[in-house]
Amino acid sequence: MDETKKVAIVVSECSFDKGVMAMMIANTAASMGMEVSIFFTFFGLNLLKKGARPKLPGMYRLFTGTFEKKMSKVGIPQFGDQMDMAKEQGVNIYACSTSMELMGVKEEDITEGAKIIGAAGFLNIAANTDMQYFIG
Amino acid sequence: MVDVLDCKGLMCPMPVVQLAKKIKAMEIGQELELVSDDVGSKEDIPAWCQRTGNQLIGTEESGKNYTYRIKKLK
């Protein structure tokens, strides 16, 4: 077995598809023994708000419920549950400090377990990863 | 007695996520059988075993179902 692979993910948008994609990649990687760090920045921060229920983008927004039901049918947990699962599996969740300031998001608005960090702080982590993904 | 992890009806990545959770609770040397009807599992399960250093002892295909026998090595 090779040494532990490390993954860095940056999420800059908050639509349902982007949110679920980030969670799926993170949870799958974590289940394979990889160390995962996710940086939620700009609109991505909305996904970290307590009780976040992202919607599909634009006009597809109306189909979010239908999509959620489809996911349920094949055993895929909803976004919020996937976030919980990620935390359980040790995925490191980071909120961008600058985005929080610019968008008026307070620490108490953010889901528990998320750490607040700046871009340099995250890049320092990302510099030591094997795979980097940008979801935005 | 080998535990059976029934993942029928679950789509990728749920089978590997559940597998990881199950293996964590097992002792080294123990084996389990994972049953899945997800076509993605054909690649996912061997990949998971390779990544995590656990052993895929065998795979059986029966109709739409795949049964994977996995041994915990780590």
Structure confidence by residue, pLDDT tens digits, B30-54: 999 999 999 999 999 999 999 999 9
Model pLDDT, residue A3: 83
Q: Which chain B residues contact residue A91 at CB under 8 A? A: none
Per CATH, which fold does B3-71 belong to?
Translation Initiation Factor IF3 (3.30.110)
Domains with residue ranges and CATH for chain A: 6-135 (3.40.1260.10)
CA distance A127 to chain B (A): 22
Average pLDDT, chain A: 95
Question: Distance of alpha carbon A118 from its chain centroid, rounded?
Answer: 16
Measure CB to CB from residue B9 to each of A27, A30, A75 and give the nearest one: A75
A24–B51 C-beta distance less than 8 A: no
B13–A24 C-beta distance less than 8 A: yes
Q: Which chain A residues contact residue B35 at CB under 8 A? A: none
For chain B, the structural domain boundaries read 3-71
Residues A27-42: what's their mean pLDDT? 97
Tens-place pLDDT, residues A65-120: 999 999 999 899 999 999 999 999 999 999 999 999 999 999 999 999 999 999 99
- DSSP secondary structure string for all residues of A65-126: HHHHHHHHHTTPPPHHHHHHHHHHTT-EEEEEHHHHHHTT--GGGBPTTPEEE-HHHHHHHH
Task: Indicate if B7 belongs to the active site.
Answer: no
ipTM over 0.90: no
